[in-house]
Structure 1
Amino acid sequence: MPNPLKYNKTFDELNEEEKKLLQINKKTIADFVEQSSSISDVNYATRNAHAKTYAVAKGIFRIEPDIPESLQPFFDKEKFDLTIRFSNAQLKIKNTKKDIPAYGFAVQIKDESGALLANYPLVNFPLFPVQSVSLFLKLFSSINRLYMKQWSSLFPMFIQMIKMLPSLLTADMLRNMLKLIRKRNDFILSFDYYSVGAYRLGDHMIKIKLSPSLVDKNTGRRQKIKDSLKNYLQKNDFTADVLIQICYDLKDQPINRLNVEWKNSPFIKIGEVQIAKNSLLDFRNCNTELLSFNPFESKIFFQPVGKIQKLRDDAYKVSVQTRRKINKLLHGKNS
């Protein structure tokens, strides 16, 4: 294999128009979170994405004993402690038996002293349909406003969605959408989960895939997703392989084209995520709901790479700060 391509901060840089649109987007995020309890009809402020929590659990990240020598400095212990949040991508919490199959598997990794090493918000779809930063910011701002019943944003949202169509029509996007449609009724723990964008691993840049082992896709077909997940994790151990791809060439492994899969970069197994049965936490506890899985809170050499990824930094910060402020006030009133 060729030498890995080195991280450069130019991968993350936004232009002036994108920076202005980001400021507007941040305001809509704060406004959404402030109104989120009424939007979702719950008694707390929710996240601005992946609002619905299915479960939160403790786990272990066990490192492969024979990982490549170049990766060993980043994984210098046999195992690391995990907190894992299972969620749905929708902005609004709906009390329905069947949710759209857009699932989150957010992983928080800590060392033996409890210090945060990395956050990885993984999802069950490997690609991202919007390539233009400006288009994404305009679209997301319009969606936020629409949830807040600002109906004037409806037409701008449709315009941005039409502009997004060409990036939905890549062979990789179409293949993965068809795959998701076929699997739409499958059990949440039977899906593979992906980092979508790239992350640093020191000077390297990687993508992450989590691939579950021995999970029956038909589990809990007649139950609500939350109930089927809770029942499974109370009675069964869960194991998933953790695999990475390394960026060697931007032509085959593009950083800022998120609607195509990386090619000519083999998956390398670096360890396993393990959840022992009956390791669930009370996700309704206020402190659990205040958890943040912001990947930019990670150590610098584990942080996200790319322009779309960079947007998440400010978005997460605004969402978390607003959510924590409101929920701490609510928690104080109820204590």
Structure 2
Amino acid sequence: MKLPIAHHPKFDSLTPRENDLLEQTLTTVSKFVNKSGKISTVKYSTRDAHAKSYSYLKGRFIPSKDENLKEFFPENEYNALVRLSHANLKISKSDRQLPLFGFALKIDDDSSTIANYPLVNFPLFMTKSVSVFLKVFMAINRFFAGSIVTKPFQAFKILISGVPMAFETMNWSFVSAIRNWIKSFKYFILARSYYSVGAYRLGNKIIKIKAIPLQFDPEFSTGISVLEDVKSYISKNDLKYKILYQIAYEEKYQPISNLTKDWRKTDFLDFGIIECKEVLEETNLELEQLSFNPFDSKKELQPVGKIQQIRKKVYERSIETCNHSNEKI
């Protein structure tokens, strides 16, 4: 019987060059967030990714009876909060954007956060290279935060920096994921599956998770907005998502650092159920300041991998700058 891959700090370790690029990137994150209120159609500073919130859903998480979960989720149920968002850095009034959605899940008891899982509706990442990602991300931040004069140059840098990604995504996993994404292009936001993309700890094990709607209408729409679609749907239906997880046993088939490929030859196991019956008041500053940072989770449930470590620093700098800027409002 194969043993699960054990968590080890080596999965998270950045090289000196990667750390240097990360520090440069964090400077651009601060500049973008400080200017985000002027860039977007809101009067407050926003996150540096998934800036646009569609709605917040309140519900509960019912963990499965899986032996692997009992240590971390011993109770029968927990509070759950879901933030539905769009991946764009810039907030616009229009909902006519590419369907790149976020489903950030917060699981807590009455005293503290147990786990945050930011999920998205595309299962893979466009690069396994920390350096490539940071160069592209820096260029994007500079494009949005810079003046009109510098935008053509930054647009060119985004294009040049992103060239390696085109080659990295030439694999069957990525092509298959693109095909599935296109098939569900016009689906209602709550009719989609959502994925962790990166890996997470489950104690000493390493896992990936995904959320699948148990019942849904792909064509559900009010014709007004995503928010109104969500409110209308939940007023008439109980929203339930089944959470599944995979365990890493062999890096050849379950690559922890290469996020351009899916995990094969490892079963999906039952993690639990998310039930949501309430849409919270329309997006306000208090809700926007909530953290869905997965590194706020219990240590034994936190993310694993180099790209995840970058996300940690970006999350922290983004929220820190955002909250500081919004204190002045």
TM-score of the superposed pair, with normalisation by structure 2: 0.96
Tell me if structure 2 keeps the 8 A contact 1:45–1:326.
Answer: yes
- Partner of residue 311, structure 1: 310
Q: What is aligned with 2:158?
A: 157
Deviation at 1:54, TM superposition (A): 0.4
Offset from partner CA, 1:260-311 (integer Å, 9 cap, x none): 11011100012100012xx111243221111111111111101000001110
**Separation (CA, whole Å) in 2 of partners of 1:97 and 1:248:** 41
Partner of 2:83: 85
Identical-pair percentage:
39
Give the C-alpha shift of residue 83 in structure 1: 1.3
CA distance in 1, matches of 2:83, 2:199: 20
Hey, what does 1:63 align to over in structure 2? Answer: 63
When the two chains are superposed, the root-mean-square deviation of aligned CA atoms in Å is 1.2
Q: Does 1:114 align with 2:111?
A: yes
SS of residue paired to 1:324: helix
Residue identity matched to 1:287: E
Letter in 2 for 1:188: I
The 8 Å contact of residues 40 and 92 in structure 1, kept in 2 or not, is answered as yes
Match of 1:292 in 2: 291
- Report the Cα distance in structure 1 between the residues aligned to 2:307 and 2:112, rounded to whole angstroms: 27
1:74 aligned counterpart, secondary structure: coil
Contact 1:98 1:225 in 2 (8 A): no
Partner-residue secondary structure (3-state), 2:328: helix
Match of 1:100 in 2: 98
**Which one of the candidate residues 120, 124, 148 is aligned to 1:123?**
120
Residue type matched to 2:250 in 1?
D
How many angstroms apart in 2 are the aligned matches of 1:302 and 1:104? Answer: 20
Q: Which runs of 5+ in 1 are unaligned?
A: 331-335
Paired residues for 1:1-335 under 5 Å: 1-64=1-64, 66-67=65-66, 69-111=67-109, 113-149=110-146, 150-151=150-151, 152-220=153-221, 222-276=223-277, 279-330=278-329
How far apart, CA to CA, are the structure 2 residues paired with 1:141 and 1:13? 21
Alignment: residue pair count: 325
Once the two structures are TM-superposed, the CA of residue 243 in structure 1 deviates from its matched residue by: 0.4
SS at match of 1:58: strand
Cα distance in 2 between the residues matched to 1:309 and 1:97: 29
Contact 1:103 1:124 in 2 (8 A): yes
Q: Matched residues in 2 for 1:74 and 1:232: separation? A: 32
Rounded to whole Å, the distance in 2 between the matches of 1:71 and 1:316 is: 26
Secondary structure (helix, strand or coil) at the match of 1:72 reads: coil
Q: Structure 1 counterpart of 2:306, which letter?
A: K
The residue type paired with residue 240 of structure 1 is Y
Would you say the 8 A contact 1:202–1:302 is kept in 2? yes
Q: Which amino acid aligns with 2:234?
A: L
Secondary structure of 1:70's aligned partner: coil
Secondary structure, in 3 states, of the residue corresponding to 1:50?
Answer: coil
Query: Does the Cα contact within 8 Å between 1:282 and 1:288 map onto a contact in 2?
Result: no
Distance 2:245 2:164 in 1: 32
Q: Would you say the 8 A contact 1:213–1:239 is kept in 2? A: yes
Gaps of 5+ in 2: none
